[in-house]
Amino acid sequence: MALKDKLVIELCTENLHGTDYHYANLKLPATEGQIEDAMQIARAIGREEYIQISVISCPRLPELMDTRLDSPTIEEMNFFAQRLEKLPENQLIGLNALFETQKEAGEYEDGVSIKDLINMTYDLDGLVVVAGIANDRELGEMVKANEMEPYLKELSDEMLNMLDLEKVGLKFREEECGVFRNGYYVARLGYDWPEVYDGKTLPKPDIQAVGGGFITMKVAQSGNPEPFEAEKNSVLIGLPIDRAKADEIAQSLGEKSIEDCVYFDFQSPLTWLDDELYGDTQIFDKLNDVAFTYESLSPDDRLKFKAISESVQCKDLDTAKEIMNNLNRYQLSHYTSDYESYAKEYMQLKLPTEFDTSILERCNLANLGRTLCDRLDCKMTVYGVVSNEGGQIFATVRPVEDEEQEVVQEEEPEQEMGGMQM
């Protein structure tokens, strides 16, 4: 499915000071790594009960954007997006008709539960969806032509020609609980409103990745001239994955090793690590090694790795591995999300405890934060403010003259005077 057709949600959490909010957008369906990344940007790790979720784009079910969601979890929204993505065209039309008629009837005035949304994606083949029928008259013509009402069989041709087809269609539609939507007629009479999801335990997804959740991709046998057939017969794998298991999957596809496979739908939580950088499966081991190392990191170190990667504009796997091996040489303040909050925290640390910090509210703290970042060689990232290698986020900013003098003294060679070193 094209990115423009994805369900997009916004995650929002209040900052720890209660004065602002953190936001992150997440395209669904998403991998475990992508969900974790959005949670990190929204400062929601460990604060799941405080997350507010809203839909900001849903091309496959547009009416959902204007409907309040009743406390869904990210996992539930992701499962719903997976179901929505797989619906064939006729069932998608039926789902939209169901949702819109429920909404028009006032069923969702207090919000819609994610349980109902998920259950509404099942058994949609019980709906009758007919293309090219946009009003009661056209429906009446179809009913007449196909003798879909028993009384029509008893009428003469003359009487049939005298029928008010609009009324025929209206009567038939009311009997079938039918509606017109975008050039389609949808009859809801045969729909049983299933309850596959009980609101507690999500059903198993149709496809689950074999392996880890940091990076996912579909692998398939190479040399297939039909891309659709190749993807249809592909296997979804997740990295990190045991090398022997990866080769076992390749052999099941008719290839000797994973490097011999082609891949589709490469998904990574890192913006710089995409299918163009990955290129092909020939660097599989290097990518898998980075994935293993990432998954071995603590939650705090995963954050730090991403912040550093953004600050140094990491664009290759070797640099990524080097960063992971030197995380202790950097500092990160995750909840410092912009220049203003950085300046405020810096001043609160440096000023005397009795100083009235409320006066800072009248200062241009954003400019101060930028200046502090420049002087301390720190970078503001979506994950927080991060130091340079070996640097400190809240180090004391010394006068420029002192800094220059310090550099000069370090660069001056030792001089000898009267046999004494100075």
Q: Worst-scoring range by mean pLDDT, 94-103, 254-263, 404-413?
A: 404-413
Domain coverage including residue 230? 210-296
Q: Does residue 259 sit in the same domain as residue 240?
A: yes
Are residues 61 and 145 located together in one domain of the fold? no
**Residue ranges in 74-148 assigned as alpha helix (H):** 74-86, 89-104, 114-119, 136-145
Residues 17, 107 within the same domain: yes
- The answer to whether residue 311 is domain-embedded is no
Q: Are residues 112 and 57 in the same domain?
A: yes
**With bands split at pLDDT 50, 70 and 90, how would you rate the model's confidence at 71?**
confident
pLDDT beyond 80 at 291? yes
Residue 238 lies in a domain: yes
Q: What is the largest CA-CA distance in the chain?
A: 132
Question: Is 161 found in the same domain as 78?
Answer: no
The arithmetic mean of pLDDT across residues 141-146, rounded, is: 79
Average pLDDT over the chain reads 86
Do 23 and 109 reside in the same domain of the chain? Answer: yes
pLDDT tens digits along 398-412: 887 655 554 444 444
Using one digit for the tens of pLDDT, what is the confidence trace for 292-351?
Answer: 999 999 999 999 999 999 999 999 999 999 999 999 999 999 988 899 989 988 988 888
Confidence label for 160 from pLDDT (cuts 50, 70 and 90): low
Q: Torsion over CA of 53, 58, 61 and 67, rounded to 10 degrees?
A: 40
Total domains, the chain: 4
Instruction: Decide if 62 is inside a domain.
Output: yes
Range of weakest confidence among 91-95, 116-120, 152-156: 152-156
Mean pLDDT (whole number) for 118-124: 94
Give domain status of residue 72, yes or no: yes
Distance in angstroms (rounded) separating the CA atoms of residues 422 and 415: 6
Whole-angstrom distance, CA of residue 372 vs CA of residue 367: 9
Interstrand relation of 184-187 and 178-181 (parallel, antiparallel or unpaired)? antiparallel
Q: CA nearest 74: which of 137, 41, 27?
A: 27
Least confident of 27-31, 229-233, 248-252, 385-389: 229-233
d(CA 404, CA 409): 9
Domain-embedded: residue 182? yes
Q: Does residue 180 fall inside a structural domain?
A: yes
pLDDT computed for residue 310 by the predictor: 96
Query: What's the pLDDT score for residue 154?
Result: 66
If asked whether residues 156 and 230 sit together in one domain, one would say: no
Q: What is the pLDDT of residue 414?
A: 43
Residue indicated by tokens 């046998």: 221
Residues 19 and 81 in one domain: yes
Where residue 416 falls among pLDDT bands split at 50, 70, 90?
Answer: very low
H or E element at residue 266: strand 262-267
Q: What is the mean pLDDT of residues 268-295?
A: 87
Mean pLDDT along residues 287-293:
95
Kindly state whether residue 320 falls inside one of the protein's structural domains: no
Instruction: Categorize the per-residue pLDDT at 353 as very low, low, confident or very high, splitting at 50, 70 and 90.
Output: confident
Q: Is the pLDDT of residue 183 over 70?
A: yes
Domain co-membership, 282 together with 361 = no
Q: Can you tell me the mean pLDDT for 91-97?
A: 93
Before 29, cis peptide (omega within 30)? yes
Residue 202 lies in a domain: no
Domain final residue pick, 100, 121, 142: 121
Give CA torsion, residues 180, 183, 185, 191, to 10 deg. Answer: -80
Do 365 and 264 lie in one domain? The reply is no
Contact 55, 9 (CB under 8 A): yes
Same domain, 20 and 112: yes
The angle formed by the CA atoms of residues 227, 233 and 234, to the nearest 5 degrees, is: 85
Quick one: pLDDT at residue 252? 94
3-state secondary structure of 300: helix
pLDDT beyond 50 at 97 = yes
244 shares a domain with 156: no
